[in-house]
Structure 1
Amino acid sequence: MVSDDTLKDQNANMAAKAQDLLTFKAPGRPLPPDQIHAEFTAMKGALKKPLTAQIARRICEKSGSHLIKLVSPRVDGDHATLRFDDPASNRRSTLLPSVNAPDIPFCKVVYRPLEVIGGATMSVVDHILNPQENSDLVLGAFGEVFGADILEALKDGLLADPVVPRNLGAGEFPIIFVPRADGSDLQITPVSPATTFMGMKRVTDAYFQKAQPGAPRPPRGRWAKQAVSSKPQNISGAIGGPRVRFLATMPPAMHQAEAEMYRFVHGGSFPRWRDDEVALWVMRYADMLDAHTTYNNHDTRAALDRTADRMLRDAGNFIAETLAEARNVALIHGIDPASIAKPPSLPTLLVRRRWPQTDAYDRARMALTSSHFEDRLRKLRGEGEAAHE
């Protein structure tokens, strides 16, 4: 005589087996090609009621790429799905069922991902919509187990033009009116693809994980969950859990200097030296060169030396400070500081700015390439090399 505990264990094992066989998720049990027929037989045995051609057609009629019930649970079941294929792709869109609860177990047969060794993980519906090399093998085994009439009902329902919904529940649907060329309006109701629901859930699950001792800190963000329905299977058996809303905020705009530094460490040009006083000193230096040509005495020569040395010294300090900051920014962005480009020459840095007039740029360029300025630059380099020695 079998004890009550033994019966409970047997019932628990059968329930676990049925849950593994009838599911919308890949169970993680790869199948050899010669075991596909046996797998379908086990799935058929796990059903409490037989799958008929009428049920198969009903499942297909209520399967779509867009589930309108995700917008409003009050949508009538006969107007709950839409199908759209990407015109730029030669593949049909992924479908999800939106059926009544009694039909969900049958959906878990035709929508269950089959992990066949040597082929892609695909459901019976996937093999019908987008056939692969082993699709004939999978569909042949399905037809042998469940019946050729059921397989034909699935093909007719999935490959035929679906019924177009013509009624929408009032209240929750956003409506946009777009003007037509003839003066009338086109009413548009946005509906998201059904796959985005579970895709968004997979993205956000990590942000709601609890911190574990000794484990890396889970990522966090500005997320909030909003329940769609207390019975998610009323929308689709393949969709469960609350809808997730998130707030995305753009990072603050970089100031000009920050943007130039960011570009520089990522391979761009060296940041400009944005000090208005520099242009004034360059123009003053150009005037001194003209005066020195006329007077050419000790005082004009000393003034030229002091002005050129000051500009060179300040330009060198700017380059050194910029390179130090660039190395820190590169480390923040995971960039090797050694890969940062070399800075420009001191004369190039001085002339590389916005000049108010074209003749001002020409005068500055001539002054910074003059023999006097190049002589002071050589002297500065010689002092630097001597200091390193």
Structure 2
Amino acid sequence: MNKNQENADAPPASQAKKSDVLSFKVTGRPLHSDGLVAEFRLMLGFLKKSFSAEIAFRICQKSGSHMIKLVSPRVDGDHAVLRFDETGTNRISSILPSVNAPDIPFCKVVFRPLEVIGHPTMSVVDHILNPSDMSDAVLEAFAEVFGADVLLAMQESLLSEPSSPSKLGAGEFPIIFIPRPGGGDLQVTPVSPALTFTGMRELGRRRFQKRDPEGPRINRGKWIDLAVSSKPQNISGAIGGPRVRFLATMPAAMHQSEAELYRYVHGGRFPRWHDQEVSVWVLRYADMLDATYNNANTRAALDRTADRLIGDAAEFLLDTLADARRRADEDGIVREQLPEPPAIPELLIRRYWGKDPNYDRARMALTSPHFEDRLRKSRLAEEVHA
């Protein structure tokens, strides 16, 4: 007797939801190796028709890594799939079914990811294409429930080359002509892997979900979607949901100052002060400190130069902190979590000094007793770290 007829051993459907048993997605039902037979029998209980070897061969024959129906839903069913393996690996590429709606429940049996504890999550199809140390146990359990003839039909279909498409629907396929080295042209029709479609659906789902205030930030960008078809089962039941076109508008590249501000708000270093005149005035201040003459006029000039450096640096720090706080509010970051801004001497010294003597002279000038005294007397310097 075919194992498909032994429905008496299958648990009642009321013990589990059909969507939790027959699925193209991970169901969250971890299995022990000795529970595989019971799980397959549970699947069998939800099938309304017998899972025959003919059906098994057909659904595997109409499964591929590339689906021409994604380009045109009017492609003939016998010319709907392609299989290409990834280069540089001995693994066979993942495939998806492209079958008529009545066969989808059977596909949800053999393409369902089985979560066997302690082993990679793999479907029956995966175990046939890329066997693991658990594959023998999975396939034996499958054959015990659905029949050895069903398993053999799947193996014959999946491990043999499917027929290549010989015709395409006119008017809907992009055509590229590539010159041949010996003359003439080669006609090429690009077809994307089916997994890129499912990947774009998952990407779009994350882009359009509402942001959790306490969760991670959603990637930046403006996304617009447009549903173009509500019947994806004509392509593959494994894809599901409406077919959607995306338009993504990414933000323009940041200028250096914008990038430095963004980095600081998110925990990086404080933005650099890029005014080229700063190093000139710092070295001029160093020259004035080294001068041998000392009178009221030179002391007043020295004070004014130090005060100018301190005042301009303090204004840059205050303006940058104000911009950083606005940016933090926009990005949902608590202002108090912003890193401490640098001290004024540190801000002034952070630049390219050319030769080492220039750097040493600048460092000595900015750490001199005179500069520290002017810092203590500066009102703006106090506001920066208030």
Q: Please, what TM-score do these two structures have when normalized by structure 2?
A: 0.72
Aligned position for 2:9: none
SS at the partner of 1:227?
A: strand
Match of 1:78 in 2: 78
1:59 aligns with 2:21: no
Cα offset for 1:300?
3.6
Contact persistence 2:67–2:82 (CA under 8 A): yes
The correspondence of residues 32-111 of structure 1 with structure 2, limited to 5 A, is 32-41=32-41, 43-44=43-44, 47-111=47-111
Which residue number in structure 2 is paired with residue 309 of structure 1?
A: 307
What is the distance in 2 between the residues matched to 1:121 and 1:373?
63
The 1:145/1:338 distance shift into structure 2, 3 A limit, reads closer
Change (3 A) 1:296 1:96: same
Structure with higher Rg: it is 1
Q: Do the aligned partners of 2:207 and 2:223 also contact (CA within 8 Å) in 1?
A: no
**Native 8 Å contact 1:316 1:346 kept in 2:** no
Q: Which residue of 1 aligns with 2:273?
A: 273
The residue that corresponds to 2:225 in the other structure is 224
Written as runs of structure 1 = structure 2, the 5 A alignment for 1:109-148 is: 109-116=109-116, 119-148=119-148
* Distance in 1, Cα, partners of 2:17 & 2:297: 100
Change (3 A) 1:33 1:277: closer
**How far is the alpha carbon of 1:194 from its aligned partner?**
1.9
Question: 1:102 and 1:348, CA in 2 relative to 1: closer, same or farther beyond 3 A?
Answer: closer
Look up the match of 1:153.
Answer: 153
**Aligned amino acid, residue 157 of structure 2:** G
Structure 1: distance between partners of 2:296 and 2:18:
102
Match of residue 371, structure 2, among 364, 371, 377: 377
Q: TM-score when scaled to structure 1?
A: 0.71
Q: Which amino acid aligns with 2:252?
A: P
Identity, % of aligned positions: 58
Cα distance in 2, alignment partners of residues 35 and 350 from structure 1: 69
Distance change (3 Å), C-alpha of 1:376 and 1:54:
same
Distance change (3 Å), C-alpha of 1:345 and 1:51:
same
How many residue pairs align between the two structures? 361
Q: What is the identity, as a one-letter code, of the residue corresponding to 1:376?
A: H
CA distance in 1, matches of 2:369, 2:17: 89
Task: Classify the secondary structure of the residue corresponding to 1:54.
Answer: helix
- 179-188 vs 68-77, which moves further: 179-188
Deviations 1:182-225 (A, max 9, x none): 676555433232233344334444677799xxxx9xx9963323
Alpha carbons of 1:161 and 1:367: their partners in 2 closer, same or farther (altered >3 Å)?
Answer: same
The question of 1:169 aligning with 2:166 is answered no
1:61 Cα shift? 1.7
**Structure 1 47/350 Cα, relative in aligned 2: closer, same or farther at 3 Å?**
closer
Report the Cα offset of residue 63 of structure 1. Answer: 0.5
The separation in 1 between residues aligned to 2:52 and 2:311, in whole angstroms, is 89
Q: Counterpart of 2:112 in 1: which secondary structure? A: coil
Rounded to whole Å, the distance in 2 between the matches of 1:316 and 1:233 is 65
Listed as ranges, the matches of 1:240-251 within 5 Å are: 240-251=240-251
Amino acid at match of 2:255: H
Q: 1:239 to 1:180 in 2, by over 3 A?
A: same
- Displaced runs of 4+ in structure 1, greater than 6 A? 16-20, 180-184, 206-211, 286-290, 361-364, 370-373
Cα distance between partner residues in 1 of 2:123 and 2:163: 23
- Alpha-carbon distance in 2 for matches of 1:176, 1:26: 39
CA distance in 2, matches of 1:121, 1:279: 62
Structure 2 residue aligned with 1:318: 316
In the alignment, the residues of structure 2 paired with residue 288 and residue 46 of structure 1 have an alpha-carbon distance, to the nearest angstrom, of 91
Aligned to 1:138, the other structure's residue is in SS state helix
* Pairwise CA distance, 1:267: 5.9
CA contact under 8 A between 1:80 and 1:165: conserved in structure 2? yes
- What is the alpha-carbon root mean square deviation over aligned residues? 4.5
Relative distance call for 1:344 and 1:62 in structure 2 (3 A) is same
Structure 1 Cα separation of the partners of residues 151 and 359 of structure 2 = 81
Match of 2:348? Answer: 349
CA contact (8 A) 2:365 2:371 kept: no
1:305-329 CA-to-partner distances (Å, cap 9, x unmatched) read 3223322332244335445654665
Which whole-Å CA distance do the structure 2 matches of 1:237 and 1:372 have between them? 71
Given that residues 96 and 238 in structure 2 are in contact (C-alpha distance below 8 angstroms), is that contact kept between their aligned partners in structure 1? Answer: yes
Higher mean Cα deviation, 26-35 or 234-243? 26-35
CA distance in 2, matches of 1:304, 1:30: 77
- Conserved 8 A contact 1:289-1:367: no
Looking at structure 1, the residues matched to 318 and 20 of structure 2 have their Cα atoms a distance apart, in angstroms, of: 65
Which stretch of the first structure deviates more once superposed, 261-270 or 60-69? 261-270
